[in-house]
Amino acid sequence: MKVSYRGMQELPPKMQEKLDAKFAKVSKLLERRGEKEAHVVITTERHLHKAEITVQFYDHQLVGVGSDADLLTAMTEALDKLEKQAVKTRAKWRDKRREEEPEGVEEEEPEKGVTGSSEEVRIFRVNHHERRKPMTLEEALLEFDGGNRNYLVYRDAERECVSVLVRRRDGNFDLIES
């Protein structure tokens, strides 16, 4: 993370090391989408230091403000507030992405589910109307790469069973056979 300071000459080496460690911690949260820049503005009014740290993250501007008589405490407070904002923004982004339905899943009328708890379990049929010809694993891989799916259910031509091909996060695949 690139940090630019305004409003002060230089920090003592020990204070700079502590701040670099804190910026490294925040950097782990923020730098998943390229190198980030943090702008630090320090103002001093009488004996009170005010630190304002600004970072651009997921199309949002995160701002952490801290003030204290001690400069290090003011900057630490601002970094803590910035870290909380980054965690909250990242969680919102992740939850939004997880709520979207994968391609190929169509919601229909739910079948009768299990009751007994406060919520009723809903079961959705997925692609039950499509009858496809059996295919080999290689054909399934070719069809899988054509779309943005996370899984593919197909009837294996060699084993004559239902198989599920699942894309892992690392880009490899898991094959589940019944």
Q: Mapping DSSP to helix (H, G, I), strand (E, B) and coil, where does residue 177 land?
A: strand
Is the domain of 92 the same as that of 14? yes
Q: 120 in a domain, yes or no?
A: no
Question: Starting from the edge strand earliest in sequence, which strands make up the sheet with 173-177, in order?
Answer: 151-156, 161-167, 173-177
Tell me, yes or no, whether 104 lies in a domain. Answer: no
**Within a domain: 12:** yes
Quote the pTM value.
0.52
The pLDDT value given to residue 90: 82
For residue 130, being part of any structural domain is answered with no
Residues 146 and 79 grouped into a single domain: no
With beta carbons less than 8 A apart as the criterion, state whether 23 and 15 touch. no
- In this structure, are 84 and 145 located in the same domain? no
- Specify whether 18 is located in the same domain as 88: yes
> Where a domain ends, among 45, 69, 99?
99
**Could you tell me if 86 and 144 lie in one domain?**
no
21 token code pair: 């460690």
| Separation CA 33–CA 14 (nearest Å) | 30
Q: How many CA atoms lie within 13 A of 85 on its CB side?
A: 18
Supply the range of the domain harboring residue 168: 137-177
Question: Do residues 7 and 87 share a domain?
Answer: yes
Same domain, 78 and 148: no
> Could you give the CA distance from residue 52 to residue 41 in angstroms, rounded to a whole number?
5
What does the pLDDT read at residue 149? 78
Q: What is the pLDDT of residue 63?
A: 93
Question: pLDDT (tens digit, 0 to 9) for every residue of the chain, 178 residues total?
Answer: 888 888 877 888 898 898 888 888 888 877 766 667 889 999 999 889 999 999 988 777 899 999 999 989 999 999 999 989 888 888 887 777 776 655 555 555 555 555 555 677 877 666 654 567 888 888 888 887 766 778 888 888 888 888 888 888 888 888 988 8
Run of H or E residues at 162: strand 161-167
Helix axes 13-30, 71-99, angle to 10 degrees: 10
Query: Is residue 111 a part of any domain in this protein?
Result: no
> How many domains, the chain?
2
Q: What is the CATH number of the domain that holds 12?
A: 3.30.160.100
The whole-number pLDDT of residue 115 equals 54
Q: What is the pLDDT of residue 81?
A: 93
